[in-house]
Amino acid sequence: MPEIVSPIDGQVAFTYARPSLEQARAKVEAAAEAQREWTRTALSDRIALCRKMLVAYAAREQDNAVQITKMMGKPVGQALGEFRGPMRERTQYLCEIAESALADEHPPAKDGFTRFIRRDPVGVVFDIAAWNYPLIIAINVIVPSVLAGNAVVIKHAHQTTLVADQLVAAFAEAGAPEHLVQALPVDHDVAGALMGERRFGYVSFTGSVRGGHEVYRAVAHNAFVGCGLELGGKDGALVLPDCDFDAAVENLVDGAFFNAGQSCCGIERIYVPDSLYDRFVEAYVAKAKQYVLGNPLADGTTLGPMINAKAAQAVRAQIEQAKAKGGRVLVSDADFDVPDASACYLAPHVVVDVDHSMDLMTEETFGPAIGIHKYGSVDEGVALMNDCKYGLTGSVWTNDDDQATALAERIEAGTVYQNRCDYLDPGLAWTGVKDSGCGASLSRLGFLSVTRPKSFHLRRAT
């Protein structure tokens, strides 16, 4: 049986059964059968189910949070916060807008005809979810899919496989029909075979660029279905001279190091004007040193281990390369009491004297390390922000609203924030450009991916 090794202590925390291809096919067939019934269920009942799911999950939130912490290392309070905050917020918002988002669209009236466009469910949705925010990444797809009349099968990342079981249990306890929401913990080969057999109406994948290409190829091999990809990121922050200084520092420290830097839209590079640079770096360093690195099951810990030793070593390699190219490390392991229970613990690292010849400034880091880069003109700052193959989010830090909007128009990203970062607003489309992927989730547009338009062109009897 596959083993989930906890980054907390390097010990096996959980095991699970992995279905064969034949068993997986049977699960998908059962989902398809459940979906044929579910699509005839009133939208009001679908909305009620998703709301009841939140209640059912809340009844087990503490045990679920501890399980998540043991699997992937985030502090228990943050695991609880993922449910109590964004998972609840997104689910409730999607329920609130479902009726209007799925409503028939009527073109201008035409004598003698009734015409409208209806959003039909796509059937069975395959959700391949990442480990770093195991609840909300999955819920972004599951909830709109169920609301639209689809069934969902969830292949969670190996490290957080049991989160799929948590969500399935919550839907079942809320009264979901059997097989409507299922866990499908298959390996890559079985997942690829299922996608190539045209068994899904939509495939959603959150993960690496390489993985995105593999999923896209598998879906395109023998099926014409939608595919949403949320891939890598190298999200930048452009600090302006007129920013709210204290707020910018505090939020950009949190944006870089929360969840051990393993956030899809976490801050990975910061650009600061010459006039503010020294003061900003001094304040940033002081704030970064306030983290408490340790066992995420212990009270008071604010920074847990990274997901595995390989990921931690990849971040260390970026830091060492930056040092070799002239970067100076102002915050490092030497400033913290780093646990030796596993090789997954990595302290916050702050690097200055950086440039774009360094992987730390151009390649995805996905860990607790940040480079702070000095710039002269605003045009130079924007050029540095866009000098990247990724484009998930970017942020500008200024009290000039007009300037923020003008700069946001120039920054190549799916979302641009003013004076905030590392947050998904469920009322806005979550999307990326360049190698950060394609498609959109959340907002009204998120329902478009898990439905297909069907036109009704009816000539009225005379």
The residues annotated as belonging to the active site are 230, 264
CA 250 to chain centre: 22
